[in-house]
Amino acid sequence: MAAEVFMPKAGMDMQEGTIIRWLAEVGDEVHAQEPLLEIETDKVTMEVEAPADGTLLVKYFDDGAVVPVVTIIGYIGEKGEKVPDRPAMAGGQARADEEKTLREPKRSREFEYGVAVIGGGPAGYIAALRASRMGVKTILFEMKKLGGTCTNAGCIPTKTYVQTAHDLLRMRRAGERGIRAQIGGIDMEAAYDYKESVIARMRGGVASLLRSAHVTVVAEEAELIGPHTIRAGQYTYSVENVILCGGSVPSPLPIEGSTLPGILSSDDILELKEVPESLVIVGGGVIGCEMAAIFGNFGSRVTIVELQEHLVPTFDTDVSAALERHFSENGIQILTGRKISRFRETDGKPAVILEDGEAVTGDYVLVSVGRRPNLSCLGVMADKIECERGKIMVDEYCRTNVSNIFACGDITNRGILAHAALKMGSAAAMTACGKPQMVNLKRAPLCLYTIPEAAGIGLTETQAKKRGEILIGRFPFSANGRAVAAGTPEGFVKVIADKGYGEILGVHIVGANATEMIVEAKILMDMEITVYEAADIMHPHPTFAEAFMEACADAIGESLNLPQRKN
């Protein structure tokens, strides 16, 4: 398929660019990342690189043409390959026709509800609220508890426990500040009750919002029995548009002994009312590391077993290394690059048997090897809605291959992140209601609520190096006044930028408030602010956020709060 060449949007305010000159003619062989043409914006003259290897098939605009941003200006592909006769916005001429079709209201028949949402998690309740506020009669089905996994068995309860662990750690360190206090252990039953009160409050908030928006809520398991028909309990409902938000469930580990007593899922461990003396965690991803931070600080002897060579392998390797070092220094045993062969019971306790025969025993074993989509809502449409590897395939409008059915969140091919699900739910509802909205998840931040926290956005160093020459800036929190004063000097901010234009390609943070600080990086990257501009933004002093500014300055060799680099 031919690759599009389009007028880039080289800044938040850029609306059009001028083609100074093409550096290749139609029929020429070109190579990816080599200069293809020069353009001029209101700020700068720059080269546009070829997006792929191949032949330049067409140039829609000549030298000197003024072209709106993201307009297709050419195609690169195989010789003889057919391309459109005229230019279009990025995505092809079909985009305009597509949006016109999406805006045309369906009037083919009467339905009980204009929008039906299956699933009351972050994607689902936001979709229902958005649809109702747009004046569409809306119904939501949730078979368990409103708020979904995030509210009841994920984001909210785990972060409540993380905060409890963080408070406990600070109290243990209070003596360093001259605070005379007698600190004991943790009352796990009281911690559990507090966690449950937080969940109840958040779940009640969701219910209140749905009531205020006049969304009908049905507490039954729902499934499709046709493209416009839903069965829930003893009743069926006719609906114009369906938004599937079924969420996810913990992935099992299909090996011998996985059903033995004491082997827990990420849902099960949140129901413990005692602190285990020892805990083995299978899986060193986000869930596993957060649970290690929680129960390690609660007093458990924790061991993490991870198949990959590093913990949280989706993060930058410097983040993984820092986390591993911190865990090890705080008594958590880490076994990376180790494969599990089976589980067995040893002296009444579950044991993890590694491939080399080593046994790791604990009072409990937490299996946290990810989550899988819950597709039970598909019903008779399971063989009609396109899925790959157990995930529903959706486009940038969250549409499935069935015209009136949308899908959002964990059940789709767009990743498992609550903040991504929220954006998808809103976009799907707006599109279903005739006001199509695309959702861009290319720069969705990754957040890790350990102690210290970690967060990342954009490319890792390994990924960025594959694109060309880069700049790297680092600033340690040990040199940040606010972090030192707060007693949290661990960690760093790492900024990766393109060497040619200064585009910020990735930001990775380990340290206190990392999950809050990553928002600034997200905003600046979306606004296409360069590392040069970011390094010059005034930050309040003293703040943790200054470390980001200093890391940007270090990337260009201008940080005055680090020793001068040697030439």
CA distance 180 to 95: 66
Contact 566/557 with Cβ under 8 angstroms?
Answer: no
DSSP code string of 340-373:
EEEEEEETTEEEEEETTS-EEE-SEEEE-S-EEE
Question: What pLDDT, on the 0 to 100 scale, is given for residue 98?
Answer: 45
Question: What pLDDT, on the 0 to 100 scale, is given for residue 42?
Answer: 65
Is residue 439 one of the residues assigned to a domain? no
Structure tokens at 145: 């508890």
Q: pLDDT tens, 68-105?
A: 887 889 999 999 888 888 776 544 444 444 444 444 44
**Whether residues 272 and 332 fall in one domain:** yes
Q: What is the mean pLDDT of residues 35-52?
A: 84
Question: What pLDDT, on the 0 to 100 scale, is given for residue 71?
Answer: 85
**Whether residues 278 and 312 fall in one domain:** yes
Is residue 254 one of the residues assigned to a domain? no
pTM of the model: 0.80
Question: What pLDDT, on the 0 to 100 scale, is given for residue 109?
Answer: 53
Q: pLDDT tens, 353-363?
A: 999 999 999 99
Is residue 174 one of the residues assigned to a domain? no
Among 318, 335, 369, the domain-final residue is 369
Closest CA to 322 of 521, 487, 462, 492: 492
| Percent of the chain's residues with pLDDT above 90 | 77
Closest CA to 439 of 456, 457, 417, 455: 417
pLDDT reading at 203 higher than 80: yes
Contact 56/24 with Cβ under 8 angstroms?
Answer: yes
Question: What pLDDT, on the 0 to 100 scale, is given for residue 567?
Answer: 60
pLDDT reading at 169 higher than 70: yes
Q: What is the mean pLDDT of residues 135-164?
A: 94
**Whether residues 241 and 382 fall in one domain:** yes
- Backbone φ and ψ of 29, nearest 5°: -80, 135
**Residue 325 belongs to a domain with what CATH number?**
3.50.50.60
**3 state SS of 172:** helix
**Whether residues 414 and 474 fall in one domain:** no
- Backbone φ and ψ of 242, nearest 5°: -120, 135
pLDDT reading at 281 higher than 60: yes
Is residue 166 one of the residues assigned to a domain? no
How far, CA to CA in Å, does 175 sit from each of 179, 181, 183, 186, 336? Answer: 5, 7, 10, 18, 35
**Whether residues 363 and 404 fall in one domain:** no
**3 state SS of 391:** strand
Q: Which of 214, 228, 419, 541 is catalytic?
A: 541
Alpha-carbon radius of gyration of the chain: 26
Question: What pLDDT, on the 0 to 100 scale, is given for residue 101?
Answer: 45
CA distance 538 to 515: 21
**Whether residues 137 and 61 fall in one domain:** no
Q: With cut-offs at 50, 70 and 90, classify the pLDDT of residue 535.
A: very high
Question: What pLDDT, on the 0 to 100 scale, is given for residue 7?
Answer: 87
Please tell me the least confidently modeled range out of 53-62, 181-190, 203-212, 400-409.
181-190
Half-sphere exposure of 371 toward its Cβ, with a 13 Å CA cutoff?
26
Question: What pLDDT, on the 0 to 100 scale, is given for residue 323?
Answer: 97
Question: What pLDDT, on the 0 to 100 scale, is given for residue 453?
Answer: 97
**Whether residues 239 and 124 fall in one domain:** yes
Among 345, 369, 393, the domain-final residue is 369
Closest CA to 362 of 276, 273, 254: 276
Contact 270/153 with Cβ under 8 angstroms?
Answer: yes
Is residue 172 one of the residues assigned to a domain? no
CA distance 371 to 374: 9
Q: What is the mean pLDDT of the chain?
A: 91
Question: What pLDDT, on the 0 to 100 scale, is given for residue 275?
Answer: 96
**Residue 46 belongs to a domain with what CATH number?**
2.40.50.100
Q: With cut-offs at 50, 70 and 90, classify the pLDDT of residue 560.
A: very high
- Strands 235-244, 229-232: pairing is antiparallel
Cross-strand bridge partners of residue 16: 68
- For residue 36, give its domain range: 3-92
Interacting residues of 290 by C-beta distance below 8 A, sequence separation 6+: 158, 162, 448, 449, 450
Q: What is the mean pLDDT of residues 556-566?
A: 89
Q: pLDDT tens, 303-321?
A: 999 999 999 999 999 999 9
Is residue 135 one of the residues assigned to a domain? yes
Structure-model confidence comparison of residues 536 and 13, the more confident one:
536
**3 state SS of 489:** coil
Q: What is the CA 345 to chain-centroid distance, rounded?
A: 37
Q: pLDDT tens, 473-499?
A: 999 999 999 999 999 999 999 999 999
Contact 388/413 with Cβ under 8 angstroms?
Answer: yes
Question: What pLDDT, on the 0 to 100 scale, is given for residue 17?
Answer: 86
First to last CA, the chain: 46
Question: What pLDDT, on the 0 to 100 scale, is given for residue 95?
Answer: 44
**Whether residues 361 and 284 fall in one domain:** yes
Is residue 45 one of the residues assigned to a domain? yes
**Whether residues 378 and 244 fall in one domain:** yes
How far, CA to CA in Å, does 74 sit from each of 66, 278, 520? Answer: 14, 61, 35
- Strands 349-354, 340-346: pairing is antiparallel
Domain count across the chain: 4
Q: With cut-offs at 50, 70 and 90, classify the pLDDT of residue 225.
A: very high
**Whether residues 298 and 358 fall in one domain:** yes
Among 369, 389, 418, the domain-final residue is 369
Q: Assess whether 541 carries a catalytic annotation.
A: yes
- Backbone φ and ψ of 473, nearest 5°: -120, 140
